[in-house]
């Protein structure tokens, strides 16, 4: 049975997932924001190094990954609509597509990492790549955590008696959308800026 709470005034004081989840999301955004600001600052200090290093990034994979996350974010939003309308089949279908987007993103990022390692490009190659590995690696860890959360939600939906709280489902969606947002900040800065 899916549980819904139509008390809209409660949502103002207790957003989906609770205030702790939103504090975590804001802290994550601040952390990535500081990393991006530091990247831009040091990039201005040594723009030639950053430009030459950026040329070794696979923009095609970066663009495809961006499209995958945007598409999976759309499917996640549709999945939330489905659960709000108590449409279990729609919710499950869109949630599967969301997780597929995350899985494909992870596979492509793994291919990109493999290409870098094969070329001898590591965390210690230069400052550009230190930022690249740290920022994208930390983001990838969030994607994996997000997929685990979504899988748990999907598992709950597939039980004989589905017991998914709509607020918990929306909290999962908020975490997934945070991952989308972070990538939309990282992609242009790392792949296109210099």
Per-residue pLDDT tens digits for 27-66 = 999 999 999 999 999 999 999 999 999 999 999 999 999 9
Average pLDDT, the chain: 89
- Distance in angstroms (rounded) separating the CA atoms of residues 116 and 56: 8
Q: What single-letter DSSP state applies at residue 61?
A: H
Report which of 60, 41, 32 is spatially closest to residue 128, judged by C-alpha positions: 41
Provide mean pLDDT across the span 85-113: 95
**88-118 vs 59-84: helix crossing angle, rounded to 10:** 160
Position 193 scores a pLDDT of 81
Instruction: Write the pLDDT tens digit of every residue in 119-174.
Output: 999 999 999 999 999 999 999 999 999 999 999 999 988 886 667 788 888 989 99
Q: Is 15 exposed, middle or buried (0-12, 13-18, 19+ CB in 10 A)?
A: middle
pTM for this prediction: 0.85
- Distance in angstroms (rounded) separating the CA atoms of residues 25 and 23: 5
Position 10 scores a pLDDT of 55
DSSP string, 52-88: HHHTTS-HHHHHHHHHHHHHHHHHHHHHHHHHHTT-H
Report which of 94, 96, 103 is spatially closest to residue 74, judged by C-alpha positions: 94
The tokens of 171 are what? 């909290």
Beta bridge partners of 165: 3
Ordered structural domains, the chain, with CATH: 17-192 (1.20.120.80)
Q: Residue 28 contacts by C-beta under 8 Å, 6 or more apart in sequence? A: 142, 178, 182
* Contact (CB, 8 A) for 154 and 96: yes
* Contact (CB, 8 A) for 94 and 78: yes
């Amino acid at each position: 049975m899916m549980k819904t709470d139509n008390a809209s005034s409660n949502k103002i004081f207790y957003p989906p997932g609770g205030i702790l989840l939103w504090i975590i999301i804001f802290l994550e955004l601040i952390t990535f924001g500081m990393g991006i600001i530091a990247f831009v600052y040091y990039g201005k200090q040594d723009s030639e190094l950053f430009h030459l290093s950026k040329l070794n990034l696979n923009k095609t994979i970066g663009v495809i990954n961006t499209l995958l996350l945007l598409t999976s974010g759309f499917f996640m939003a549709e999945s939330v609509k489905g659960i709000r309308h108590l449409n279990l089949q729609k919710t499950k279908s869109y949630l599967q597509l969301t997780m597929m987007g995350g899985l494909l993103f992870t596979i492509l990022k793994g291919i990109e990492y493999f290409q870098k390692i094969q070329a001898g490009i590591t965390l210690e190659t230069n400052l550009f790549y230190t930022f690249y590995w740290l920022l994208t690696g930390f983001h990838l860890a969030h994607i994996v955590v997000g997929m685990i959360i979504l899988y748990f939600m999907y598992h709950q939906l597939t039980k004989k008696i589905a017991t998914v709280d709509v607020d918990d489902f929306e909290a999962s969606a908020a975490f997934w959308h945070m991952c989308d947002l972070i990538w939309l900040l990282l992609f242009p800065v790392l792949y296109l800026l210099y």
